[in-house]
Amino acid sequence: MVNLIIDNQPVSVPEGTTILEAARQVYIHIPTLCYLNLDAMKMHNQTASCRICVVEVEGRRNLAPSCSTPVAEGMRVTTNSQRVLSARRTLLQLILSNHPTDCLICAKSTDCELQSLAHEFGINTQKYQQGERATFPIDKSSGALKRDPNKCIMCRRCETMCNEVQTVGALTAFGRGFNVTVGPAEMQPLVNSSCVYCGQCVSVCPTAALTGVGYINETWAALFDPSKKVVVQVAPAVRVAIGEEFDFPTGQPVTGKLVAGLRRMGFNAVFDTTFGADLTVVEESHEIISRVTKNENLPILTSCCPGWINFLRYHFPKLSYMPSSCKSPQQMVGAVSKSYYADKMGIDPKDLVMVSVMPCIAKKYEAAMPEHSHDGLPDVDYVITTRELAKMLKESGIDLRYMPDESFDNPLGESTGAGVIFGATGGVLEAALRTIYEEVTGQELDDVNFTAVRGISGVKEATIDLNGRKLHVAAASGLGNARKILENIEKGTSTYDVIEIMACPGGCVNGGGQPYSQNRAEVIEQRIKGLYMIDGWQSRRKSHQNPSVQYLYKDFIGEPGSEKAHELLHITYYEGLVPEHST
């Protein structure tokens, strides 16, 4: 332990602790901007590029960045001297001098950390009004991520997330002076880079330099078009996060209130993506059992996460045959809505607009892929994030706190507990195991809880006994963890039969479109807890028990893996290549 004094308070902390971390242990507030504590991944962004967190250390001439300065025995630190406060204010004003002042119409207004700091410091005039400013083109080429380099403050958080946590390597720093910014190699558009659109850079960007491409206006236009029937589907992870935008406790499920709010917005039908998750389990379990029985193309990899699939095809193209051919739950609900549901309701599929509410930015890219269409129509027309829906609800004057609890519309609104847990890391695998066990053994599974694959640790493993056949499974979240698993597969050292991978650390609950949490472990854990709470409430907790899914097969699809199932619910990618996005 190291003993020091901070603002005349004695502090004792472990060796290697920074001044910033030591100050926080005794509730001394030091403002930060570039610093980011990724506690869920046990990693920090400590570039010390903004210098907002400077402090005075007795005996040192220069002010020290507290986020990257380790404590020392007997150190005396002052965090609020005149010199410190003056330096912080000057540094913040210099950052603002090269930053756009369009706060009223900025996508991060009220969520911007730079804006919050300016308010905290009482800065209401621009001291440095004259001088050169950066001017860069805005990049929306991917249809999923929007990059505005003019709002980049060089905190380097996105680099840490992209390169160290996700190991995608799509972002790096370029230039000098006013020409410095962060972007893809050679400043190419994102669509021409190795970006997989996981959106984790968006979740940690303190300004609006990185945001999602919005589809709010397109969604409103569809809702106000009398010639269209507009249906909406809601992903599992949304219901345990959107409440945070309306002052509900973190992770509290608000499913029924959310359904009521969507109806009041004018949607003709409100469906549950969890129905698509149950459908995915049935199809994917059939595929898993087939491949395990034949002992071919193993391990089989789940295919629900488009960010992860993009990562595989960019970085491990030789393994592109391994993922399940199943579409994601989002695309399955879209495909069934524009075929089975449209036919039953007498709606021309051309007049049916499918809107998805997703926790994920990569889902925007997925919906626009040419493979995800049928008869020339996209399965999903518009994808809006949890944050976008919260804005639309507020624009409509709808406060979820005062909404009644209403139910989803059937048949695409009926679901099981297994489908709900798709939003958590390990949930897709656990849901599949509940069905695979009963399909293979012919025995009813009394305890459906496969707890070994739960939790936010990077990789979870389990072995399931299927009548003497040992099924070795694993679940990983975060693309850095996925890389380790895939490298072992390429080396031939992997012993797994089935692997679930989600791009975002913690799973979809921590997606790039969720309310901003800066990847805090306690937020991720509470959202996951909310999903398993819903799972526990359900009378049916196995996907194959969903009556509406059973009837869909009987009335329309036939058998799992049938020709009709492959036509609507499966996909063939261009091998080893992420197709170009058409905006």
Task: Tell me the catalytic residues.
Answer: 284, 287, 304, 324, 363, 366, 371, 508
Q: Confirm if 531 and 359 have CB atoms less than 8 A apart.
A: no
The tokens for 173 are: 């720093």
The tokens for 17 are: 């602790």
4, β-bridge pairs: 11
Q: Confirm if 60 and 92 have CB atoms less than 8 A apart.
A: no
Degrees to nearest 5, angle at CA 333 with 347 and 299: 150
Q: Confirm if 503 and 196 have CB atoms less than 8 A apart.
A: yes
527-562 burial by CB neighbour count: b if 16+ within 10 A, else e? bbbbbbebbeebebbbbbbbeebeebbeebbeebbe
CA pair distance 114, 92, nearest whole angstrom: 8
Q: What single-letter DSSP state applies at residue 409?
A: P
Q: Confirm if 97 and 131 have CB atoms less than 8 A apart.
A: yes
CA pair distance 270, 372, nearest whole angstrom: 21
370: left (phi over 0), alpha (psi -120 to 50) or beta: alpha
CA pair distance 397, 392, nearest whole angstrom: 9
Q: Confirm if 114 and 153 have CB atoms less than 8 A apart.
A: yes
The tokens for 556 are: 């329309």
Q: Confirm if 572 and 371 have CB atoms less than 8 A apart.
A: yes
Tell me the DSSP string of 215-278: -HHHHHHHHT-TT-EEEEEE-GGGGGTGGGGGTPPTT---HHHHHHHHHHHT-SEEEEHHHHHH
- In which element (H, E) is residue 11 found? strand 9-13
Question: Tell me, what amino acid is at 119?
Answer: H
Tell me the DSSP string of 298-348: PSEE----HHHHHHHHHH-GGGTTSB--BPPHHHHHHHHIIIIIHHHHT--
Question: Minimal CA–CA distance to 240: which of 504, 529, 457?
Answer: 529
Q: Alpha-carbon torsion 206, 211, 217, 223, what sign?
A: negative
The SS3 assignment for 287 reads helix
Tell me the DSSP string of 546-576: -HHHHHHIIIII-STT-HHHHHHHB--PPTT
Contacts of 86 (CB under 8 A, 6+ apart): none
CA pair distance 540, 549, nearest whole angstrom: 13
CA pair distance 509, 424, nearest whole angstrom: 6
